[in-house]
């Protein structure tokens, strides 16, 4: 990716994010959002993030797009620990430990 691309993203994302944060507080004022809109906004995170991560897990770039046991297991563990303990950091640690554990076993088995 080029420098121009990086800076375009930084500036556009910065301005856009700021305007989203300012929206009601700054410009639109004391008018309540329609309930349907509030309801949809609640699902923006779960509507985008899982779709973003799914292809990265199923077809990882590091293995040339081949599904890979270590990465799929690590992904499952990170997701399940996050679901279970509601704690993102713990989930990251568990996922990383699984990834390195399985990679080490694979290396050791040759």
Residues 13-52 that bind another protein (CB under 8 A): 13-14, 16-18, 20-26, 29-30, 32-33, 36, 38-52
Instruction: Please say whether the beta carbons of 60 and 46 come within 8 A.
Output: no
The 3-state secondary structure of 38-50, one letter per residue: HHHHCCHHHHHHH
Sole binder of another protein in the list 67, 69, 80, 105 (CB under 8 A): 80
| Per-residue contact flags (x/-) with another protein for residues 85 to 104, judged by CB under 8 A | -xxxx-xx--xx--xx--x-
**Residue 64 DSSP code:** T
Residue 86: which region, alpha, beta or left (left: phi > 0; alpha: psi -120 to 50)? left
Residue 106 contacts another protein per CB under 8 A: no
* Distance of closest approach, residue 48 Cβ to another protein, in angstroms: 5
* Distance of closest approach, residue 13 Cβ to another protein, in angstroms: 5
Residue 55 contacts another protein per CB under 8 A: yes
CA dist 66 and 72 (Å) reads: 11
Residue 73 contacts another protein per CB under 8 A: no
Instruction: Please say whether the beta carbons of 74 and 96 come within 8 A.
Output: yes
* Distance of closest approach, residue 81 Cβ to another protein, in angstroms: 7
């Amino acid at each position: 990716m080029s420098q121009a691309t990086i800076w375009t993203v930084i500036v556009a994302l910065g301005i856009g994010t700021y305007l989203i944060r300012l929206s009601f507080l700054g410009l639109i004022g004391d008018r309540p959002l329609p309930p349907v809109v509030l309801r949809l906004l609640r699902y923006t995170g779960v509507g985008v993030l899982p779709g973003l991560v799914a292809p990265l897990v199923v077809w990882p770039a590091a293995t040339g797009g081949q599904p890979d046991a270590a990465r799929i297991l690590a992904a499952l563990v990170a997701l399940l620990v996050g679901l279970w303990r509601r704690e993102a950091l713990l989930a990251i640690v568990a996922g990383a430990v699984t990834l390195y554990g399985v990679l080490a076993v694979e290396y050791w088995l040759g």
